[in-house]
Structure 1
Amino acid sequence: MIKKDIPVYSIDKLSLFKQKDIQISRFAPYLAVHKNLHLAHKHDFYHLILFLEGGGTHDIDFHKFPVQPYQIYFMIPGQVHSWSFEGHVDGYVVNFSPSFFHSFMARADFLGQYPFLNGIVEESVIDIPADIQPKVKHYFEVLLQESETDSTFGLDMVRAVLIQLFITISRLSDAEKNRQASLHNYTILKNFQKLIEVNYNTLRLPKEYAQKLFITPNYLNTICRQLMGIPSGEVIRNRIVMEAKRQLVNLDLTVAEIAYNLNFEDTSYFTKFFKKQAGVTPREFREEEIKRVKRANSRLGSIR
């Protein structure tokens, strides 16, 4: 059966221990309990997995990645996710609520400083170099041990270890190197992305965002090319297309309704825009997603 809407899961529904803000587990038993998570779904919490073994693919916001040992991926609330695993898959999974660090850190934007926790798919899937694989695995072992005890300050230890993990992973990313080279430009880029999240339905032109950032459109374009490798206009269009894809997998919405939701003048203009950016029409994208879900359901049925 194909679900008409994308389910949204919360920690208290997924956690075996009914913890409110944090869930830590080996991935194999987590996967055994939550087989339905292979279908497209969303979370209202942060979600990260370190793979230790297994194959197949996983999708984040319709970007497909091969499963590889010592690959780690991060997801923020609201992203669309699905799996198609092959063979035995194991590793570690950590889920935590947006409020988990609020009482621990004074900075409200603490998580947003890490490139892999900003919802940029290309920066959220990272292969761990061999020289630090033992260190990263140790972090997850400590997290698992602390989550299974009732010791004093146990949750604070979990937070402290997660911060060590975040810093270790952040030092691997090109975005971190770019940030060290040009903190000012990196800050502008992050503010640009935050503005897009709030305004992508109404503001479509780089000059409109540049005005809000108090810089010239050319400077904004230069920053995006330097730090992301694409022009500022494409950053905006990519976000619109991503939202369109998220709504297209909701079969309760017609293409015309989605065009209206995204503030397009008419369905024809929306279709042309989507095809130019995604390479297929909205209906073709939806039909392919339906086929993919049927294939996934068929594979799951054969396993059962």
Structure 2
Amino acid sequence: MMSKAHIPTYDICSLSMGVQVTEDLLVARFPDYLEAHQHIHFPHRHSFYHLALFTAGEGTHTIDFETFPVKPGQFYFMVPGQVHSWFFSGKINGYVMNVSAGFFNAFLQDPAYVERFPFFSGVSAEGVVQLPKAAIPVATELLEAMLQEMKHPQGYSQDMLRLLVLELFIQVTRNTGQAPSGQEPPHNYVLLRNFRKLVDQHYMQLRLPKDYAALLYVTPNYLNAFCRHMLGKSAGEIIRDRVLLEAKRLLINADMSIATIAWQLNFADNSYFTKFFKKYAGVTPEEFRKNIS
């Protein structure tokens, strides 16, 4: 594990593996990717969307301090900024995809289109998808088609790759029952996405549901009831969880004092931050740091 260093953040070019049709997309088979980047099992972040499909092997994959057992048919979807690490036992097989946030911008009218997919919510558990057995060949065939397109580019290769990536996202959503069923009004998904985006942008300054309700033009009571309906949590819990997650991310850096982290997260003082962290994480910041060092 990391101790005396910041969590490294990799951009898509730093993990390049040779000739690419576009600097915004990398697709590789897992053994090749691990061989080229043997250091990346330590906790790190990406500035891009990072996907991993496992077809063979075992181990663990930790995303934002939540650990999942690796199983064949498991597809991991990570958004920019999430902290993750993996530890494998035995031979691992599958695919890795790195795709920039701007890859689709020249192709789609809606720049936020990709955020509609449920596995790109930024919540660790929602980004871990178990593919049904029949859906695994569908996903692998699309990934192999991307590899061939990148190896032998033709006219409109970038657009073909965009189509293949989008088809992969749609097929995974359909084959795992995550596609909207029609029972939930479409505007509910838009409101949820907008609320989560606002929390991610303003959690350091805005801590009360009423602040976000005003930005969303709804009442605080409506926002709380809506969040409980959609996620089983109140709006306040969602805001609190985001603050707690960032605190954990910062605590990995042993060079930052607890007081500095408290100040950066906009807590009134170190004591208040410590009480907050222990109440919701179950341990003090110092104990959490010791456990991950």
TM-score class normalised by the smaller sequence: over 0.9
**Mapped pair 1:82 → 2:85:** yes
* Deviation of 1:45 (Å): 1.1
1:272 matched residue in structure 2: 275
Distance in 1 (CA, whole Å) between partners of 2:218 and 2:193 is: 14
Q: 1:134 to 1:18 in 2, by over 3 A?
A: closer
Give me the CA root mean square deviation: 1.6
Which of 279, 283, 286 is the aligned partner of 1:283?
Answer: 286
Within 5 Å, which residues of 2 pair with 1:10-29? 10-17=11-18, 19=20, 20-29=23-32
2:229 matched residue in structure 1: 226
Is the 8 Å Cα contact of residues 132 and 176 (structure 2) preserved in structure 1? no
**Mapped pair 1:171 → 2:177:** no
2:95 matched residue in structure 1: 92
Within 5 Å, which residues of 2 pair with 1:63-212? 63-172=66-175, 176-177=179-180, 181-212=184-215
Secondary structure at the aligned position of 2:39 is classed as helix
Distance in 2 (CA, whole Å) between partners of 1:270 and 1:32 is: 41
1:298 matched residue in structure 2: none
Is the 8 Å Cα contact of residues 77 and 127 (structure 2) preserved in structure 1? yes
TM-score of the two chains, using structure 1 as the length reference:
0.91
Is the 8 Å Cα contact of residues 59 and 87 (structure 2) preserved in structure 1? yes
2:241 matched residue in structure 1: 238
How many residues are paired up? 290
Is the 8 Å Cα contact of residues 28 and 89 (structure 1) preserved in structure 2? yes
Distance in 2 (CA, whole Å) between partners of 1:117 and 1:199 is: 19
Letter in 2 for 1:116: F
Deviations 1:114-173 (A, max 9, x none): 121231212111000122222112111111111211222222111101111111222356
Which of 193, 215, 219 is the aligned partner of 1:216?
Answer: 219
Q: Any gaps of 5 or more consecutive residues in structure 1?
A: 291-304
Stretch of structure 1 that moved more, 80-89 or 112-121: 112-121
Structure having the larger proportion of residues in helix: 1
TM-score of the two chains, using structure 2 as the length reference:
0.94
Runs ≥4 residues deviating over 6 A:
none
Letter in 2 for 1:170: T
Secondary structure at the aligned position of 2:111 is classed as coil
Q: 1:3 to 1:43 in 2, by over 3 A?
A: farther
Stretch of structure 1 that moved more, 17-26 or 273-282: 17-26
Distance in 1 (CA, whole Å) between partners of 2:175 and 2:237 is: 26
Secondary structure at the aligned position of 1:53 is classed as strand
Deviations 1:80-127 (A, max 9, x none): 010111111110011111121111112111111112123121211100
Query: Once the two structures are aligned, what percentage of the paired residues are identical?
Result: 47
Within 5 Å, which residues of 2 pair with 1:31-50? 31-50=34-53
Q: 1:124 to 1:100 in 2, by over 3 A?
A: same
